[in-house]
Amino acid sequence: MKFGTKAIHAGVEPDPSTGAIMTPIYQTSTYVQRSPGDHKGYEYSRTHNPTRTQLQNALAALENGKHGLCFASGMAAVDAIMKLLKPGDEVISTNDLYGGSYRIFTKIFQNYGIKFHFTNMQDTANVEKLVNENTKMIWVETPTNPLLNIIDIKAYGKLCKKHNLLLVADNTFATPYLQTPLDMGADMVMHSLTKYMGGHSDVVMGAVVVNSDDLRERLAFIQNSCGATPGPQDCFLVLRGLKTLHLRMERHCQNGRQVAEFLKNHPKVNKVYWPGFAEHPNHEVAQKQMRDFGGMVSFELKGNNVDDAIRVLENLRLFALAESLGGVESLCGHPATMTHASIPREDRMKAGLSDTLIRLSVGVEDAEDLISDLEQAIG
C-alpha cells in the first residue's frame, strides 16, 4: 500500500463484535476469564488493551516495523529504552538533543551508572572516536530539535552493525511520512506521538517500533512492569490522528517551505535553520533519506538581541507561544527558556543554540496568513 492508504487502513480492523469501522474505546481495567488463565488475550489493561493493540499495530505498519509499543508519553518511551541498559554501559548522542531527552539522560540515568557522550553527529568520524567496549547504544535525533541538523541514519546503521551497537532513532520531527529509520538500519524508532502523529494538540503519548522479537519482548516486559501505559481514550485520539497524517504532513511541508523562504529574505533575519535549503548542513543527506523537509523552522534575528526575540514572540498572533509542536495550529517557542532550559547555557552555546533562537512549528493554516503574522511581529 502507498502511505496514505496505509495511514487509513494498515494495522486496523473493524470491530469484530459490531463491525464498527472506528476502533472502540475499550474503557475497562480488567477482563472476565472463563477459568484461571483461560481468557481472550486480555487480562488487565496495564498489560493489554484492545484500543492500544490496534494503535500499536498501526504504528508498526507505518514505520515498516513488526512491533509497536505505546507509552504514556514520549519521555516514558525514552525511559523504557534506557532501561534496556545496565550500569557501566555508554551511550553516544547528538550535542543538540531535545532538552527532555538530555535531562533524563544526565539527571536520571547517569545517576544509575550509565555514561553519556554528546557530540556533533553530522560526521560519523566524531562518533566512532567515542566508541569503546562499554558503548552499547547510539541515539540519533534527525532533524534535531531545534537546530534541524540532519544525521545520516544509514551511515549510523552501518556503524552500529560494525560495532554491534543498538541504534535508536527519534523520529518525532519527521514522522514515518518523511522517513522510516528501520529501513535504514535503526533497531528502534521512538516517537512523541503528542506531536505530528496525534496532530491536534489534545493528547500526550509516546511509542517505540521495532523489528526484533527479542527487543519487543524486553520492552513489553518493561512497559507492563513499570506501568507507564496510555489509556484507551488517548489511544483512540492518536488512531484518529493517524488517518490524516499524510494530508497534514503535506501541508506542514508546503507551509514550512514558504515560511522558511520568507524568513530567509527578510532584512531583519540573520539566519534560518531549515533542511530544505541547499546550504543547510547535510542537505544532500536530507534529500536522500526524507520525502520532504518538514514543517519545523528555526531562525535568529540580526543583532542577536534577546529582547528583540522576546518582542517577536510576544507580538505573534497566529503563532501561539506554547510548548510542543506538530499540531494543526502554528506554534512558536524560545528554546533557551522553554524546551531546552534544562541544558546548561554553556553546552547550548557550544552546540549553536543561542539565546535568541526562535523555533516555529508551522501549522496547516493558509501560508499567506502565517507570513503576514511573522511580518507584523518582526516589523
If one counts every other C-beta atom within 10 angstroms of the C-beta of residue 110, the result is 13
Q: Is 216 a catalytic residue?
A: no
Q: Is 170 a catalytic residue?
A: yes
C-alpha span between 177 and 100 (Å, rounded): 24
Cβ distance 50 to 24 under 8 Å?
Answer: yes
Catalytic residue among 195, 251, 257, 359: 195
- For CA atoms 283, 287, 291, 292, give the dihedral sign: positive
If one counts every other C-beta atom within 10 angstroms of the C-beta of residue 329, the result is 14
Catalytic residue among 42, 46, 89, 243: 46
Catalytic residue among 26, 98, 196, 273: 98
CATH class of the structural domain 3-240: alpha beta
C-alpha span between 17 and 249 (Å, rounded): 34
Per-residue pLDDT of the chain (379 residues; tens, 9 = 90+): 999 999 999 989 999 889 999 999 999 999 999 999 899 899 999 999 999 999 999 999 999 999 999 999 999 999 999 999 999 999 999 998 999 999 999 999 999 999 999 999 998 998 999 999 999 999 999 999 999 999 999 999 999 999 999 999 999 999 999 999 999 999 999 999 999 999 999 999 999 999 999 999 999 999 999 999 999 999 999 999 999 999 999 999 999 999 999 999 999 999 999 999 999 999 999 999 999 999 999 999 998 889 999 999 999 999 999 999 999 999 999 988 887 777 888 888 887 888 899 999 999 999 999 999 999 999 9
Rounded to the nearest 10°, the torsion over CA 120, 123, 125, 126 is: -10
Burial environment of residue 46 by CB neighbours within 10 A (0 to 12, 13 to 18, 19 or more)? middle
Name which of 246, 327, 181 is nearest 7 in CA terms. 246
Cβ distance 119 to 95 under 8 Å?
Answer: yes
Query: Same CATH fold, 245-378 and 3-240?
Result: no
Cell numbers linked to 217: 519482548
Cβ distance 255 to 95 under 8 Å?
Answer: no
Q: Which fold has domain 245-378?
A: Aspartate Aminotransferase, domain 1 (3.90.1150)
Catalytic residue among 79, 96, 152, 170: 170
Cell numbers linked to 21: 469501522
Cβ distance 137 to 168 under 8 Å?
Answer: yes
Q: Is pTM beyond 0.85 here?
A: yes
* DSSP class per residue in 178-220: H--GGGGT-SEEEEETTTTTT-SS----EEEEES-HHHHHHHH
pLDDT at 343: 80
Q: Assign residue 175 a region: left if phi > 0, alpha if psi is -120 to 50, beta otherwise?
A: left
Domains of the chain, residue spans: 3-240, 245-378
Going along the chain, which residue ranges are E strands? 67-71, 90-94, 115-119, 135-141, 166-170, 188-192, 206-210, 269-273, 296-301, 320-321, 331-333, 358-361
Sequence-separated (6 or more) residues with CB below 8 Å from residue 37: none
